[in-house]
Chain A
Amino acid sequence: MDKLTALSPCAGLLPLTIGATKVVEVEPGQMTSVAPYNGQLNKLSKAMKAAHGVEYPQANGLTREGDTQAVWFGHAQAMLVGPVVEAGLAKHAALTDQSDAWAVVALSGDAAENVLARLVPVDVRLAHFPVGMAVRTQLQHLSVSLVRVDEGTFQIMAFRSMAHTLVHDLKTAMEAVAARG
């Protein structure tokens, strides 16, 4: 049998540095969507804290502990990123393995906000989009999760099948911002 080689979603596309911004691929580990059952949110949040050190996130928010993130991912949905999910959480929520389904990148640098301002219809300035904020929005035509993980860095998740488009859109905006000097 042929030997198969695992490729990351952005293999051959990243890293990319243009002007004052940089994009690198993030290896997120396991990704599991967590959709709480009716009336189970508090129990779920406690069970997540006990098992993974992170509570269920507030809307537009993020909880994290070490390399583990619980990213708010929409109406009644969060994405647990990093560890293999504790099976017991299935008592309180629908769990779906989405590992390898998402391309995850980190955009950083002095011009990162200016690059995103060309791509997403939300205000990404620090005063309006603080560290730990996690929104679902659109990056050009892509449905994405956008998180400010620290003051200078945004984490962007898009469908893996759209990895080329994601990098293309980021690259185009980075070039345009850099061209303005």
Chain B
Amino acid sequence: MRITCPICGERDRREFYYKGHAVSLDRPAPDAGEEAWDNYVYLRENPAGETRDLWQHEGGCGAWIEVTRNTVTHEITATRLVSEAKS
């Protein structure tokens, strides 16, 4: 498996650390209420198809990367820096 780091280019999967779904980029406001926080902390989709998750290029440049991939075909369709995804 290869992941294209927006900074370093295409690299081997072993250089990356996997965190989880990119939901953590969308943290609810402190006063968003119990349901929003319950959702954010505990509930996850388990899609057969496209999903977005966070990887860190730990063995490379150190950047956090949002990876869009397909859980059925294993195709990676997009990567971008979290610092850009947030802005």
Interface residues, chain A, with chain B CB atoms under 8 Å away: 59-60, 74-75, 77, 121-122, 135-138, 143
Contact = CB atoms under 8 A, between A and B. Distances in A.
Interface of B: 7-9, 11-12, 14-15, 57, 59-63
Query: Considering residues B11, B14, B15, B60, which has the most beta carbons from chain A within 10 angstroms of its beta carbon?
Result: B60
Nearest to A122: B11
B12 A75 contact: no
B7 A59 contact: yes
B42 to A, nearest CB: 31
B15 A60 contact: no
A122 B59 CA distance: 11
Contacts of A136: 8, 59-62
B8 A143 contact: no
A153 to B, nearest CB: 22
Contact of B61 (A75, A121, A138): A75
B59 A137 contact: yes
A67 B61 CA distance: 24
A75 B63 CA distance: 6
A42 B15 CA distance: 30
B9 A143 contact: no
B33 to A, nearest CB: 34
Contacts of B60: 74, 135-137
A122 B7 CA distance: 14
Given A135-B8, A138-B15, 4 more contacts: A59-B7, A74-B62, A137-B11, A137-B15
